[in-house]
A and B are shown apart, each in its own frame.
Chain A
């Protein structure tokens, strides 16, 4: 595997479900990010991790819970989501202090 991978690519869940999104980077980076892309809106930064430590939480509701066990892996745990949370969730990685972020293919999430 190369670059940034994300699983699953598509996810449909009910409002009472608990699910997790997974991201893995194979680039030797030390910073990882979660973004949300809704239709007709710009990418919105959700969380940033530097060296496994969360450095940014962009006012994200607590029904989204990130986890970064090491510099290569990032998870987004989902619980009691709302239909308006349906979106494309993108993971990215970079070197700390680097401007250029490398993105995964995203997980298309639909909340029923």
Chain B
């Protein structure tokens, strides 16, 4: 049973426009959410995160929105650039003790292609 779902395996967006990547989750205990970006032949790199006490977090061209009631989060990239072409993974954790590791549960990823 997949607790983190990215239902769009791929997305194509024109350069300069907004890219919106979506993620849904089923575990109501998740309280911290992350987006990772992965280029071919490289490991995932951390992009942006959001705690469940917030509904929005912005970092430059990247903004993550969290809708707890809908158990949905989205990543907005604006304006989209060719270098943004990559696979984007959504991940979630249950938080908990400050002494334990935060186990991350990942989605299957969305391949974003920016068209010049």
Contact = CB atoms under 8 A, between A and B. Distances in A.
Kindly list the 5 A-B residue pairs having the minimum CB-CB distance in the complex, ordered from nearest.
A103-B43, A43-B106, A42-B106, A99-B102, A97-B98
B45 A99 contact: no
A109 interface: no
Interface of B: 2, 4, 32, 34, 36, 41-46, 49, 89, 93, 95, 97-109
B44 A103 contact: yes
19 contacts: A4-B43, A6-B43, A9-B41, A33-B101, A42-B2, A42-B4, A42-B89, A45-B103, A55-B100, A55-B101, A90-B43, A94-B101, A98-B102, A99-B93, A100-B34, A100-B46, A103-B45, A104-B43, A106-B42
Given A42-B106, A105-B41, A97 B46 contact: no
Tell me the dominant secondary structure on chain B's binding face.
loop
Interface of A: 4, 6, 9, 31, 33, 40-43, 45, 48, 50, 55-56, 90, 92, 94, 96-106
Contacts of B42: 105-106
